[in-house]
């Protein structure tokens, strides 16, 4: 079975981030685009490594250096769990690939393990980018023995296993529950609702934990700096105890704790694999059912004449809600927008500042923060890619180009609108701002939403991915999505930095300039794409 796992894993990884296309393509423009993306990735990775090094240095100066590996392990585990939870179901239960692979002489366990390994290897790379710089800083400042590095490298190999298995369990449960519904629309709706509910629970838990930790740390620092270590240790113990096993194994040379840290994830994964292998075929077969009962109840209806824009928009919305991975990855920003608004009304701006890690940011830059969250991942950033090999059919429709692009933008705005209204109503009701504050609170997020929808469409038009086999590649691993996230972050970070630097009386001018720049950029892109 080992050879089967290796071959299937190689197949699933060969198209990861377009590496295979970059390797064999003869198109110089495509190679230039990939090289540009490589430069951007290098810049982001450099920023990540710098942040990790600065964090470890600060912990060591504060006397909490022994817990630095544990904190890094917690960060890696939380990120792995959160992002894998969203894509675990679609990757593990990719029915299109399963129908192809199950006809081959391979075991079901080999298929499951290969898909798990494809996720593991990508998360291992991210974990190494966090752990290795932290280990280097700790080694330079604390001068530990050779076992610190050996145990750290060994522990980093097992670090993604437990959160990845936990996320896979959650993804399998959500997919399994959704597969029980008879119609495909019902399956998708249940899976989307369960995933979004879990995201809300994670956001609420992380906010409450961060708020409690920030208060505890502040109190301890005021009383006695030496009490910070027990506070951090207690917090890590409550979040993720295996992180302490790894930290103590690295800093104190405890081999048994390292053995425990590696054995527990492997044992949990073995149990998960054994259970899932018994239900895997059934879940995949249920997901492939299109609801035969609905065909027996066929009834004719009167035909309705619709405008081209309305018809194309409705088609876009049907396509959007038919994909679980599409919805769950593009609605996280909207959920965070609502979460931010509700959190400010419930616990106040000071607690939100502590969660975001920047003092006064919620007080001075709330409209920008509110708009930046949905702007980082609009559905237009991959709406053209999601058409796949059917995009040429769209271009043969007897409708103008502006209708095609307009329908995608309108679908984006209709999806975001309910979240925008809930967020605005919650903030206006709790904050009761004056006229200027109300205008800023309404106009700035709206400008970001419209701007991101237009920019996402323009970027996806220039960097489409039509040859995907799994929707996850188009939604999470494409160049256009990466560039859109980067654009959304930069477009929000710049006004936030200015707002934190200038006096509060100039905030209104900064808001007005921000709205003007976003509106102008939107109009320029709209005119240019015509």
Distances in Å between the Cα of 231 and the Cα atoms of 22, 77, 214, 251 are: 49, 20, 10, 19
Tell me which range, 21-30, 53-62, 217-226, 426-435, is most confidently predicted by mean pLDDT. 426-435
| Residue 186 placed within a domain | yes
Q: What is the mean pLDDT of residues 291-320?
A: 68
List the structure tokens of 78: 């939380």
Tens-digit pLDDT profile for residues 161-178 = 888 888 888 877 777 676
pLDDT at 291: 43
- Is pLDDT at 220 greater than 50 in this prediction? no
- In this structure, the answer to whether residues 226 and 325 fall within a common structural domain is no
- pLDDT band at 17; cut points 50, 70, 90: low
pLDDT at 296: 47
Q: What is the mean pLDDT of residues 409-423?
A: 93
- In this structure, the answer to whether residues 331 and 286 fall within a common structural domain is no
Largest Cα–Cα separation, the chain: 79
DSSP letters of 421-443? HHHHHHHHHHH---HHHHHHHHH
| Residue 262 placed within a domain | yes
- In this structure, the answer to whether residues 270 and 349 fall within a common structural domain is no
pLDDT at 205: 61
Last residue of a domain, one of 242, 258, 291: 291
Tens-digit pLDDT profile for residues 72-122 = 888 888 888 877 776 777 677 776 666 677 666 777 778 778 878 888 888
69-78, 144-153, 342-351, 429-438, range with the lowest pLDDT: 342-351
Q: What is the mean pLDDT of residues 419-439?
A: 89
- Is pLDDT at 303 greater than 60 in this prediction? no
| Residue 19 placed within a domain | no
- In this structure, the answer to whether residues 68 and 129 fall within a common structural domain is yes
pLDDT at 506: 83
- Is pLDDT at 510 greater than 70 in this prediction? yes
- Is pLDDT at 403 greater than 90 in this prediction? no
When the pLDDT of each residue in the chain is averaged and rounded to a whole number, the result is 79
Q: What is the mean pLDDT of residues 434-463?
A: 91
Q: Which residue has the higher pLDDT, 217 or 324?
A: 324
Side-chain half-sphere CA neighbours of 99 within 13 A: 9
- In this structure, the answer to whether residues 254 and 323 fall within a common structural domain is no
Cα–Cα nearest to 55, from 45, 65, 46: 65
- Is pLDDT at 399 greater than 80 in this prediction? no
- Is pLDDT at 219 greater than 50 in this prediction? no
- Number of structural domains, the chain? 2
pLDDT at 299: 52
Q: What is the mean pLDDT of residues 463-470?
A: 78
Give the whole-angstrom CA distance, residue 114 versus residue 92.
Answer: 9
- Is pLDDT at 425 greater than 90 in this prediction? yes
Spell out where 445-523 has E strands: none
Do you know the residue count of the chain? Answer: 530
- Is pLDDT at 445 greater than 90 in this prediction? yes
Tens-digit pLDDT profile for residues 46-81 = 777 887 888 788 777 777 777 788 888 888 888 888
pLDDT at 530: 57
Binning the chain into helix, strand and coil, the percentages to the nearest 5 are 85, 0, 15
Give the whole-angstrom CA distance, residue 521 versus residue 356.
Answer: 28
| Residue 466 placed within a domain | yes
Q: Could you give the percent of the chain with pLDDT greater than 90?
A: 12
105-119, 293-307, 325-339, 486-500, range with the lowest pLDDT: 293-307
Give the whole-angstrom CA distance, residue 453 versus residue 310.
Answer: 18
- In this structure, the answer to whether residues 120 and 269 fall within a common structural domain is yes
- In this structure, the answer to whether residues 357 and 218 fall within a common structural domain is no
Give the whole-angstrom CA distance, residue 3 versus residue 10.
Answer: 11
| Residue 156 placed within a domain | yes
Q: Could you give the percent of the chain with pLDDT greater than 70?
A: 77
Tell me which range, 110-114, 228-232, 431-435, is most confidently predicted by mean pLDDT. 431-435
| Residue 20 placed within a domain | no
pLDDT at 410: 92
Cα–Cα nearest to 493, from 375, 349, 329, 334: 375
Give the whole-angstrom CA distance, residue 218 versus residue 276.
Answer: 45
pLDDT at 216: 46
Side-chain half-sphere CA neighbours of 194 within 13 A: 19
pLDDT at 121: 84
- In this structure, the answer to whether residues 325 and 177 fall within a common structural domain is no
- In this structure, the answer to whether residues 272 and 356 fall within a common structural domain is no
- In this structure, the answer to whether residues 453 and 500 fall within a common structural domain is yes
Tens-digit pLDDT profile for residues 304-318 = 667 888 888 888 898
- pLDDT band at 411; cut points 50, 70, 90: very high
Instruction: Give every CB contact of residue 471 below 8 A, 6+ residues apart in sequence.
Output: 90, 323, 325, 326, 386
Long-range Cβ contact pairs of 150-155 (< 8 A, separation 24 or more): 151/246, 151/249, 151/250, 151/253, 151/255, 151/258, 152/69, 152/250, 154/258, 154/262, 155/73, 155/131, 155/246, 155/249, 155/250, 155/258, 155/261, 155/262
State phi, psi for 49 to the nearest 5 degrees.
-60, -40
Give the whole-angstrom CA distance, residue 110 versus residue 497.
Answer: 50
Last residue of a domain, one of 257, 291, 325: 291
- In this structure, the answer to whether residues 238 and 374 fall within a common structural domain is no
214-218, 370-374, 449-453, range with the lowest pLDDT: 214-218
Q: How many helices (H) and strands (E) does the chain have?
A: 24, 0
Alpha helices in 159-254 (DSSP H): 161-179, 184-223, 228-239, 241-252
- Is pLDDT at 285 greater than 80 in this prediction? no
| Residue 22 placed within a domain | no
Looking up tokens 């053995």 gives 259
Tens-digit pLDDT profile for residues 344-356 = 877 777 767 666 6
Distances in Å between the Cα of 301 and the Cα atoms of 26, 298, 304 are: 51, 10, 9
Looking up tokens 């590095």 gives 149
pLDDT at 422: 93
- Is pLDDT at 278 greater than 50 in this prediction? yes
pLDDT at 304: 66
pTM of the model: 0.71
| Residue 321 placed within a domain | yes
- In this structure, the answer to whether residues 322 and 218 fall within a common structural domain is no
pLDDT at 412: 93
DSSP class of residue 27 equals -
pLDDT at 456: 92
pLDDT at 529: 63
Last residue of a domain, one of 261, 291, 321: 291
Task: Provide the residue range defining the domain that includes 331.
Answer: 311-529
What distance, in Å, lies between the first and last C-alpha atoms of the chain?
54
pLDDT at 467: 74
Give the whole-angstrom CA distance, residue 182 versus residue 184.
Answer: 7
């Amino acid at each position: 079975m080992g050879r089967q796992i290796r071959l299937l894993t190689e197949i699933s990884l060969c198209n990861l981030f377009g590496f295979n296309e970059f390797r064999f393509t003869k198109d110089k423009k495509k190679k230039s685009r990939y090289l540009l993306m490589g430069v951007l990735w290098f810049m982001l990775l450099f920023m990540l490594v710098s942040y990790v090094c600065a964090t470890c240095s600060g912990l060591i100066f504060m006397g909490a250096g022994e817990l630095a590996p544990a904190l890094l392990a917690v960060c890696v585990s939380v990120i792995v769990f959160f992002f894998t939870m969203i894509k675990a179901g679609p990757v593990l239960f990719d029915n299109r690939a399963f129908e192809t692979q199950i006809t081959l002489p391979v075991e079901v366990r080999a298929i499951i393990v290969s898909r798990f390994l494809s996720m593991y290897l990508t998360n291992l790379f991210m974990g190494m980018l966090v752990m290795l710089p932290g280990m280097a800083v700790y080694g330079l400042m604390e001068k530990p023995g050779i076992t610190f590095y050996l145990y750290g490298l060994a522990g980093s190999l097992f670090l993604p296993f437990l959160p990845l298995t936990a996320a896979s369990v959650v993804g399998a449960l959500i997919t399994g529950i959704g597969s029980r519904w008879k119609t495909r629309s019902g399956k998708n709706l249940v899976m989307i609702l369960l995933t979004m509910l879990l995201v809300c629970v994670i956001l609420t838990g992380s906010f409450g934990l961060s708020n409690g930790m920030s208060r505890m740390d502040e109190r301890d620092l005021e009383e006695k700096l030496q009490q910070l270590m027990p506070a951090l240790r207690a917090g890590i113990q409550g979040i993720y105890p295996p992180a302490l096993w790894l930290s103590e194994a690295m800093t104190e040379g405890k081999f048994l704790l390292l053995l425990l840290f590696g054995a527990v994830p492997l044992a949990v994964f073995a149990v998960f694999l054994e259970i899932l292998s018994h239900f895997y075929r059934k879940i995949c077969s249920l997901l492939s059912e299109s609801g035969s009962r609905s065909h027996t109840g066929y009834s004719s209806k009167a035909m309705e004449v619709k405008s081209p824009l309305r018809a194309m928009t409705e088609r876009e919305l049907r396509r959007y809600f038919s994909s679980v991975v599409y919805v769950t990855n593009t609605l996280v920003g909207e959920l965070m927008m609502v979460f931010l608004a509700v959190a400010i009304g419930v616990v106040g701006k000071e607690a939100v500042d502590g969660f975001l890690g920047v003092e006064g940011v919620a007080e001075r830059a709330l409209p920008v923060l509110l708009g930046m969250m949905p702007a980082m991942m609009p559905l237009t950033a991959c709406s053209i890619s999601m058409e796949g090999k059917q995009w040429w059919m769209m271009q043969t429709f007897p409708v103008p180009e502006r209708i095609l692009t307009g329908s995608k933008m309108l679908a984006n705005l209709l999806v975001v609108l309910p979240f925008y209204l809930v967020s605005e109503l919650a903030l206006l009701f709790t904050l009761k701002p004056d006229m200027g504050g109300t205008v800023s609170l309404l106009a700035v997020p709206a400008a970001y939403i419209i701007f991101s929808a237009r920019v996402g469409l323009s970027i996806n038009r220039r960097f489409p991915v039509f040859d995907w086999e799994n929707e996850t590649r188009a939604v999470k691993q494409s160049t256009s999505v990466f560039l859109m996230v980067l654009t959304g972050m930069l477009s929000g970070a710049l006004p936030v930095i200015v707002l934190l630097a200038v006096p509060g009386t100039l905030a209104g001018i900064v808001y007005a300039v921000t709205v003007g720049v976003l509106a102008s950029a939107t109009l320029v892109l709209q005119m240019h794409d015509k």
